Amino acid sequence: MAFMPLAAASGTAIASAAGASATTGGATGGAASGGATSAVGRLGCGVCACCAVLCTPLALASARLNERWRRFSVGFRASVFLGLVCFLIAFAGFARNSDGLTFPNGVFYPLAKAGGYLLDFAMTLILFPMMRNLVSWLRTTPITEWIPLDDNHSLHILAAKIVALGTVVHVLGHYLFMHWKGSYETAYVSLPGITGHLALVAMLLMYITSVCRKGWRVPLLGWRIGSFDAFWFTHQLYLAVYLLLVLHAEAFYKWAFWPLLLFGIDKAIHYLRGKKECQLLAVRQEAKGTDVMSLQMRVFLNGRLRFRYRCG
């Protein structure tokens, strides 16, 4: 009779011990498994951190390379297209004014006209990048794949170079033609000659101050020539240049009318938008050694805070 309880007690004890052992083993196994999982997690985090450190610069470099390639391809297509258009326009000017002239001296007048046609086209093109509102709207169209609207300053400079090329060819052709004829009277007495020389002087001032915007000192004298203010003030001569070219060439108004009209409308829109209430909150430089600056502002429209972002 006494054996049964002892056996039961012994079995219970053994079972309890076995259960405890199993529980301990399970706990040990769980701890081991948790440690392994934690180790794998730490390893995974380390790998991810290493990948992030390595991949982030590569991704940024790839994005920059893609953007540069996109800009280069757009700029290349625009340059090829403009080059072809300029060649066709200059050729048309040469061909339409070459009848009845002998070679080689007789080629100077058609050459001057070719430069004049090129100058007419470039003087209409040079205003286009400066129409900020029109350019902002065109950025939303597929034309951005053919014209570098994201870099309208470079497009303006390219048009200025075409203006310079057309001016040199036009002036040189006329002077060589007058030398061949043996008379320079039309260059200094006639209305086209006077207005042409005045426009040339104004263009030279604009070109010189645009190249020397930071200014440079005359050796020995210490005089400082050129600055951004000089660049800005001389560029206000563009209206006088267009007026002089209208008086200089009979057909120039046909080229300049629509660009000048659109430019005037764009300036009017810019003036009206500039009268809107705007509160400047903060101005700061984003990083030392760079020219990146951030502005924080509040823009009001009809008394309400409103600002709708548009590219450009």
pTM recorded for the entire structure: 0.67
Both tokens assigned to 77: 């297509």
Strand partners of residue 224: 217
DSSP lists the bridge partners of residue 293 as 285
Distance CA 204, CA 160 (A): 12
Nearest to 105 by CA among 169, 171, 175, 170: 175
Q: What is the pLDDT along the chain (312 residues), one digit of tens a residue?
A: 333 433 333 343 333 444 444 444 443 444 444 444 444 444 444 545 555 555 666 777 777 777 676 666 666 777 888 899 999 999 999 999 887 777 766 789 999 999 999 999 999 999 988 888 888 888 888 877 777 777 778 888 889 999 999 999 999 999 998 888 888 888 888 999 999 999 999 999 998 888 765 556 655 555 555 567 778 888 999 999 999 999 999 899 999 999 999 999 999 988 887 777 777 888 887 777 667 788 887 777 666 656 665 554
pLDDT (tens digit per residue) in 248-288: 998 999 999 999 999 999 999 888 877 777 778 888 877 77
Query: Cβ of 298: how many Cβ atoms within 10 Å?
Result: 12
Q: Are 159 and 122 in contact (CB under 8 A)?
A: yes
pLDDT digits (tens, 9 = 90+) for 237-250: 999 999 999 999 98
